[in-house]
Amino acid sequence: MTEIIDRVKRFPEDGEPPFRPNLNVLSESKANCADYVVITIMDCWAENPEFRPDFKMIRTRLKRMKAGWHRNIMDQMMNMMEKYASNLEDLVTQRTGLLLEEKKKTEDLLHRMLPK
């Protein structure tokens, strides 16, 4: 296992392609890994970072794996934290806009009272 990890991490030399583990093992195993999982793995290996899916896309693609499973406390906590983070981002954006408006008003008032 550590040999595979070392080979994946090693930078390829002289135009040789980077090492990627054999994914046929996944489809031939008893678990018979779903095609969408293999496709997601291959997309994550794209050489150009722009073609790699982000974490949100990976999570969306792999959501089918949990179909029919009961959600555990960790999944619920992660969902709550994601919603909380999203709400905080919206709130920060809104408050930043309000701050900029107030700053502009203050500068306008200051310029009216004092010469530039």
- 41 & 58 share domain: yes
- 63 & 17 share domain: yes
pLDDT in tens, the chain (116 residues): 688 777 777 777 777 777 777 777 776 665 677 788 888 988 988 888 899 999 889 988 888 877 766 667 777 788 888 888 888 888 899 999 999 999 999 999 988 888 76
Q: What pTM does this model have?
A: 0.47
CA atoms of 31 and 26, how far apart (whole Å): 8
- 91 & 51 share domain: no
How many structural domains are present in the chain? Answer: 2
CA angle 103, 106, 109 (to 5 degrees): 150
- 43 & 81 share domain: no
- 9 & 48 share domain: yes
- 10 & 56 share domain: yes
CA atoms of 43 and 16, how far apart (whole Å): 19
